[in-house]
Amino acid sequence: MRIAMLQDRASVPSIFSEKALARLASFGEVVRNEGAPTDENVKKTIAGADIAITSWGNTTLHREILDCAPGLRLIVHAAGSIKPIVCDEVWERGIRVTGSPKPLGMGVAETALGFTISASKNYYNLNANLHANGPWHEGYDNIRELYDLTVGVIGGGWAGGHYLELMQNFGVETLLYDPYCSEEKAARLHTTLASFEEVLRRSDIISIHAPNIPETYHMFNAETLGWMKKDAVLINTARGAIVDEHALYEHMAAGNLKYACLDVFDPEPMEADNPLRTLPNVILTPHLAGLAQNGKLRIGMHAADEIEKFLSGRPMDCEATKEMLAKMA
């Protein structure tokens, strides 16, 4: 068994702990890319491999690269979307593919939970008030516990699903909009499927976890934002293009939501003159959801988990097929 790690060698320690690397070595011979993930280096590293591991910085594993590993059986993408990595040739050769949406989704969901609690508790306004030497309880009447509220979730994939699981720790009702989600899966997530409009109209907090696909482009716009409660909280840790930022600015400038908490933007990095920067009721973070710093080590351990399942003939958690690409991030 030959496992080829194709990512930039310098990036390996940030994703694979020594424990994860030891697990990989227990499966077979591990060969690492000696430099940057150029085609030349990738071809050399993947030669004769049974399993290839890719990550951020890797480009498409095209025909010429795949020809160097005629026995390749599995690609494990230890990063975000698999779309930049795979091509039709991968599927035509019967190579199986798995990614990292499960560990990444955990980080995204936990970031969204942080926004959920802090916005409900009105941390941001209270913090600004105390820094400005304002009255001790200024804004205190705008605090809400996560109790007897309705939380709406847009997208029930790995991130949305984990967020829904986290919500089970609180006394809230949850609604899910996901046209690809079955009633059976919704029941496992202890949530209720609803239309997009119903979720927006009923929810006190809305957390976006949808993929960036044509169907979700600017699904939050001037009309749909108007369906939300004026004191609702909007959280976006998914993709910036899902929200029409111009419409959101107009909506927030008019004081129509309690907070909009944004971790993603369109484009990124966020433009210096983006007017959302000027609004105190818009909370901004620089795309830190997912996994950052030590959290990335979850990805390496997950990659080892997926390889172990593949080798033992068990279903992998995050296996992707060509048919799934159209509805994936």
Q: Is 190 a catalytic residue?
A: no
**Beta pairing class for 233-236 and 205-208:** parallel
Nearest 5 degrees, angle CA 189-CA 230-CA 269? 75
**How many Cβ atoms sit within 10 Å of the Cβ of residue 186?**
20
Q: Which of 165, 287, 308, 319 is catalytic?
A: 287
* Ordered DSSP codes for 159-209: HHHHHHHHHTTSEEEEEEE-TT--HHHHHHTT-EE--HHHHHHH-SEEEE-
Q: For the stretch 289-320, what's the b/e string if a residue is b when 16 or more beta carbons lie within 10 angstroms of its beta carbon?
A: bbbeeebbbbbbbbbbbbbeebeeeeebbbeb
Q: Is 239 a catalytic residue?
A: yes
Both tokens of residue 177?
A: 């909009």
Q: For the stretch 23-47, what's the b/e string if a residue is b when 16 or more beta carbons lie within 10 angstroms of its beta carbon?
A: bbeebeebbbbeeebeeebbbebbe
* Ordered DSSP codes for 61-112: --HHHHTT-TT--EEEE-SS-STTT--HHHHHTT-EEE--HHHHHHHHHHHH
Both tokens of residue 143?
A: 């605090």
Q: Is 287 a catalytic residue?
A: yes
Nearest 5 degrees, angle CA 221-CA 225-CA 229? 175
Q: Which of 239, 251, 298, 302 is catalytic?
A: 239
Catalytic residues: 239, 268, 287
